[in-house]
Chains A and B, each alone.
Chain A
Amino acid sequence: MSEDERMQKLPKEKPEGLKVKTINNGTVIDHIAGGQALNVLKILGISGTTDATLSVVMNVVSRKLGRKDIVKVEDRELLEEEVNRIALIAPAASINIIRNYKVIEKRMVDLPDEIVGVVRCQNPNCISNTMEPIESRMLVKAKNPVLLRCLYCEQPLTERIAEYLI
C-alpha cells in the first residue's frame, strides 16, 4: 500500500482522544507542521521553566499535513497577537480556545503586518544586531511563502526563519 493510500484509509483525526486528553480551559494549537512544536513554544515565550500545564504532541499522523504537532496550554487563553506570530513557522496552524471543555473560538493563524522582537535580522552588519536599545522589527511583505524584511537594514528573510527566532 502506498503512503497516499494509507493516508486515505486513516479514520478522521481524533488526536485528542488518541494521545492526550481534552483540556478543561485553555488553548489548543493544532495543525502545526511536524517538528515545529518547540519553536511554537519559543515564539509564545513559553520556556522550560514555565508554570503552565503544557501538553506537547509531536509527529502524529495527519491527513492534512502528513505529520503534525499539537500544543495544549491549560488555563491560558492566548491572545490573537500572540498566536498570529506562529504563522511564521506554522502557517496552517489552527487555534482553539477552550472553556469548560467546549471550543468557544476556533480560528486560523494570520500573520500581522509587522513582527516585533520575535525574529532577528540575518544580516550580521545590521544595527538591530548590536547592543542598541531596540527590538528587532520585521515587516511582513508576503505570507505564503513568508517573506520578511528588516525595518532597519531592509534585508529580506524567507527561508530558515526558525533559525532566527530570538
Chain B
Amino acid sequence: MFLKRHVLSMREFSREEIDSVLDLAASLEPFARGKKSDAMAGKILALLFFEPSTRTRMSFETAMKRLGGSVINLGPAEGSSISKGESLADTVRVIGGYADAMVIRHPKEGSARLASQFSPVPVINAGDGAGHHPTQTLLDLYTIKKESHLENLKIALVGDLKYGRTVHSLAYALSLYGADITLVSPSSLKMPDPIKADLSGKGTAVRETCDLAGVIDDVDVLYMTRIQRERFPDPVEYKKVASSYRLTPESLGAARRNLIIMHPLPRVDEIAPTVDQTAHARYFQQSFYGVPVRMALLKMLIGGA
C-alpha cells in the first residue's frame, strides 16, 4: 500500500500518496479517540528527540500506544552515549536494532536523511533544524480536508513566512491540490523567493500582501503562525507588527461563516483566547488530528495487523 521506506520531506510525496495517508487516517480516527486496537501489538517505536518537543513527541507516543504498540525513548542527551561523542550514524544503527521504526528530531538540517542512510528500520523526520517536518504538513492537510475542503481551496498563510518551516512545506503540498494561496506577512518576513518561484512553477496562484484585514473575508482557511520577537531588533517595531497580525472576534467580523482558523501551536499573542469560543477555531482539533495521521504513517511503514 505504501512504498516509502522513510518519511523525510513532503517533496517526496505525490498527491496520491498523501491521499492514501489521509484516507487511512480517517479510518483510524475512532482508535485515536480510544477504541481498542492491538494492530501494533509486539511492535516497538523508538523516539529520538535531540531537541525538546511536547506535542510531536507525545502524539507519536499516543499514536503507537493507541494501536497497541510500545515506545522506547532516547531520553535527554545528557548522560547518554551522545554526550560521550557518539555519532548520529552509530546511534541510529544501534537503536535500529531495538525498534521497528524510529522518529527523529534533531537540531541539524539533513539529520533525518543521514539517519535514513544508516538505519535498518524506517525513519520518520519530526523536524531537522530549519528543514522539514512532514508529519505536521500531513496533519495540516488532514485538518483542512476534514474541517474545510482541499479542492478549490482559498487559504491565507499568515505571519512569519520567512523562517517558518511549516508554512513552506504546507504551501508546497497545497500546490499539489491547486490551492489559491495568499501570503500575508510583514515585509521583513516574506516567503523566500525560491519557494514562491517553486509554487508559481507548479501553476499555483500566489498573492502577497501585508494586510491581514483585507483577506479575511475572501478565504476558506486562515493559517496563523507565530511571529517571533527575536526576529525584530527594535521592540517597538515588533509590537506594531505583532498587533497588526492578531486575530480577535472583532477582526473576524467580515469572515465567511465557514472560515476555519488553524495554527501549528504553540500560540502566543496572534490569536486572542476569545477566538477559541468562535465557530472558526480549529487549532486544538488540528493538534488532535496529529494522532490519527501519525497512526496512519506508522501502520504504513511498520505494517502490523
Counting chain A CB atoms within 10 Å of each CB, which of B9, B106, B129 scores highest?
A: B129
- B131 in the interface (beta carbon within 8 A): yes
- Establish whether residues A151 and B108, one from each chain, have CB atoms under 8 Å apart when the complex forms: no
Residues of B contacting A155 in the complex (Cβ-Cβ under 8 angstroms): 109
Question: In the complex where A132-B114, A134-B117, A152-B113 touch, is A127 in contact with B88 (Cβ < 8 A)?
Answer: yes
CB distance from B293 to the nearest CB of A (A): 23
Residues of A contacting B106 in the complex (Cβ-Cβ under 8 angstroms): 127
Interface of B: prevailing SS: mixed
- Establish whether residues A133 and B87, one from each chain, have CB atoms under 8 Å apart when the complex forms: yes
Q: C-beta contact mask, A130-166 vs B, less than 8 Å → 1, else 0?
A: 1111100000000000000011111110000000000
The distance in angstroms between the C-alpha atoms of A150 and B111, with both chains bound, is: 12
Q: Which of B113, B130, B131 contacts A151 (CB 8 A)?
A: B113
- Establish whether residues B87 and A152, one from each chain, have CB atoms under 8 Å apart when the complex forms: no
- B107 in the interface (beta carbon within 8 A): yes
CB distance from A164 to the nearest CB of B (A): 16
Name the CB-closest residue of B to A129.
B108
CB distance from B48 to the nearest CB of A (A): 14
- Establish whether residues B109 and A153, one from each chain, have CB atoms under 8 Å apart when the complex forms: yes
How many Cβ-Cβ contacts under 8 Å join chain A to chain B?
A: 52
What band does the interface of chain A fall in when counting residues whose beta carbon is under 8 Å from B? 10 to 19
CB distance from B41 to the nearest CB of A (A): 35
Residues of B contacting A121 in the complex (Cβ-Cβ under 8 angstroms): 110
What band does the interface of chain B fall in when counting residues whose beta carbon is under 8 Å from A? 10 to 19
The distance in angstroms between the C-alpha atoms of A150 and B229, with both chains bound, is: 30
- A49 in the interface (beta carbon within 8 A): no
Residues of A contacting B94 in the complex (Cβ-Cβ under 8 angstroms): none
Q: C-beta contact mask, B105-128 vs A, less than 8 Å → 1, else 0?
A: 011111101100100000000001
- A128 in the interface (beta carbon within 8 A): yes
Name the CB-closest residue of B to A128.
B110
- Establish whether residues A153 and B131, one from each chain, have CB atoms under 8 Å apart when the complex forms: yes
Residues of A contacting B89 in the complex (Cβ-Cβ under 8 angstroms): 132-134
- Establish whether residues A134 and B114, one from each chain, have CB atoms under 8 Å apart when the complex forms: yes
Residues of A contacting B109 in the complex (Cβ-Cβ under 8 angstroms): 123, 125-127, 152-155
- Establish whether residues B87 and A126, one from each chain, have CB atoms under 8 Å apart when the complex forms: no
Residues of B contacting A151 in the complex (Cβ-Cβ under 8 angstroms): 110, 113
The distance in angstroms between the C-alpha atoms of A128 and B87, with both chains bound, is: 12
Question: In the complex where A152-B114, A153-B110, A154-B131 touch, is A131 in contact with B87 (Cβ < 8 A)?
Answer: yes
- B194 in the interface (beta carbon within 8 A): yes
Given contacts A128-B110, A152-B114, A155-B109, 9 further A-B contacts (CB under 8 A): A123-B109, A125-B109, A127-B110, A127-B114, A130-B108, A150-B110, A151-B110, A153-B110, A153-B128
